[in-house]
Copies of this chain bind each other. A is one copy, B any other.
Amino acid sequence: MTQSRDDFEARLRQIGAERYHDLHPFHHRLHGGQCTPNEVRAWVINRYYYQHSIPMKDAAFMSRVEDPSLRRAWRSRIEDHDGTDENEGGIRRWLRLAEAVGLDPDYVASCEGVLPATKFAVDAYVRFVREKTLLEAVAASLTELFAPKIHANRIEGLLQHYDFADDRSLSYFRNRLKEAPKDVAFGLTWVLDHTDAPEKQDAAAKALVFKTDVLWSQLDALWGAYVEPARVPPGAWEPDSGLLMRQAS
């Protein structure tokens, strides 16, 4: 039976309550101030790969949308990340965070030291959006529903516990607090408008679960590679490499 609009929205929100990566121990460690500088750096390096792939994911979505008005509504997501004439964009803001934690932003932007497991998870998300239905693609984006809380916690936790944290280095998160609500309001309405059958509701819920897996598995990989006892896989960032010269000297 098709769930009511309210019940189905509650079902989607419950997925976040149970599976969103704010529950992952790495985030408790990060926001609680227990991460070493190199753990923070490893997070910044790996999360960059996700950031830099998100506009590719959004372009993959737009490449399948025949309706110009839906493409127009979606395009602002790419602008928010890649930037415009007036807005430097999330990717450049993330590289400022990289610099603030002592990493060479060119090294981070090269994606050279990213964990293979991070790439597999993020690439799976881009491929998912390229191949699944538009409904599943939009539903997968709804983890943004749960992002404002984690961003607010993160800003508070980082400011409290880490010297590198200030308005400049954390501007990525402050901007997402402004940008994400507009995207998610659009996406949620779109999903609720397009789930008028039980199988569509199931597909949308499954897509959101998939996306929580994409986020969670990145933190598992980070923990396994960089939290003591660290087991850095071949080719991934070695702590204390890839630093800015002024830090390394």
Contact = CB atoms under 8 A, between A and B. Distances in A.
A83 B78 contact: no
Contacts of A83: 68, 72
Protomer copies: 2
A63 interface: yes
A130 interface: yes
Contacts of A52: 66, 68
Interface string A116-138: 00000000001000100000000
A72 B68 contact: no
B63 A130 contact: yes
A91 interface: yes
**Which label, helix, strand, loop or mixed, suits the secondary structure of the A interface?**
helix
Nearest to A71: B82
Contacts of A60: 59-60, 63
Interface of A: 52-53, 55-57, 59-66, 68, 71-72, 75, 78-79, 81-83, 89, 91-92, 111, 126, 130
- Which 10 A-B pairs give the minimum distances between C-beta atoms? A59-B62, A60-B63, A59-B63, A59-B59, A56-B63, A68-B82, A68-B91, A72-B82, A71-B82, A63-B63
